[in-house]
Amino acid sequence: MLSILFIGEINGKIGRETVKKILPELKRDLKPDLVIANADNLAHGNGVSKSTIKEMLDAGVDWFTGGDHCFGNTAHLNLYNSDSHLLRPANFSESAPGRGQAVIEINGHKILLISLIGQVFMSMDFNNPFSKVDEILSNLANNNISAIIVDIHAEATSEKIGMFHYLDGRVSAILGTHTHVMTNDAQISKIGTALITDVGMTGFADGVLGVEKEGIIKTFLTQIKYPHIIPETGRAILNAVLLSIDPKTKKTVAIKPITKYINIK
C-alpha cells in the first residue's frame, strides 16, 4: 500500500515553522512514502523563494504544487525550471516557466503528481483545467503508474467537485486547495477516487485565512483595501490529508484528514 501525505497551503514563515515542528512527528507516526505540500504562499504569502523551498525540503517535504500566487516572487522564477521538485499549475500559459506534472519514482513505484488551477472566480484567464488534465493523462496515465494525485487550486467548490466526477476512476485522488479552510467532505467514490474539496492551510490560526484579522475587518467595513499582514508568531494550524492507495489498482482505499495546532513563539 502506498501512503501519501498532502499538506495544505503553507502560508508564510509561521506556516513553515509549523511544518518544521509538526512534520517530523507525522512522518515518524504515519510513515508516508511521499510528502507533498502546496507552496503557493510559501514565501510570506507570495510564491516561493530558493531559501523557503530548501527550508521545506530540509523539513521533510518531497514535492510542491502551485496556485495563482506561484509566480508572485518574480526574482525566483528560475526555480520552476530547475530540479527543485516544484510544480506550477499545468494549465498556466505554455510560455510560463516550469511544468505542471511530474512522475515521481519512490520505493519501486511511479506516482503521477498533477497541479491544476481553476477558472471560476479566479483573477486571470487560465487555460481549461479539464482539457489540460485529459492531455496529461492521455500521455502518462498508462506509463506503469501506481498512483495519480491531482491538486486542483480553485475558488469554486462546484469546479473542484466537477473535476472529481470528471476524473472519477481515472485518478487516485482529487485534492482541492486555495480557500485555506478544510472542508468536511473527505470521501472515496465507489470506484476508488478520493476527494476533499479543500485540504485547508498551514499557518496562522487566529486570523482570517492566515492573515491578521484587523486589516481584513477594516477592509470589510470601509471598502478600502488594507495590507494583509501574516503574523510570525501565535497559534498555528496544520491541515493535511493522508491517502492510502493500492498501487496495483491505483484506487484510494482510505483518506484521513489531519488537523494539528501548535503555538509558534
**How far apart (Å, rounded) are the C-alpha atoms in residues 250 and 50?**
33
What integer pLDDT is reported at residue 83 of this predicted model?
79
**Of 69, 76, 153, 178, which is the active-site residue?**
69
* 215 located within any domain: no
* 74 located within any domain: yes
Comparing CA positions, the residue from 133, 194, 114, 126 lying closest to residue 155 is: 126
**How far apart (Å, rounded) are the C-alpha atoms in residues 64 and 248?**
25
pLDDT band at 81 (very low <50, low <70, confident <90, very high): confident
- Known catalytic residue at 69: yes
What integer pLDDT is reported at residue 46 of this predicted model?
84
* 80 located within any domain: yes
State the total domains in the chain.
1
* 30 located within any domain: yes
* 226 located within any domain: no
pLDDT band at 141 (very low <50, low <70, confident <90, very high): low
pLDDT band at 143 (very low <50, low <70, confident <90, very high): confident
| Domain interval for residue 141 | 2-204+233-264
Q: What CATH code is carried by the domain that includes residue 44?
A: 3.60.21.10
pLDDT above 70: residue 237 = yes
C-alpha cell belonging to residue 222: 470601509
* 212 located within any domain: no
| Terminal CA-CA length for the chain | 38
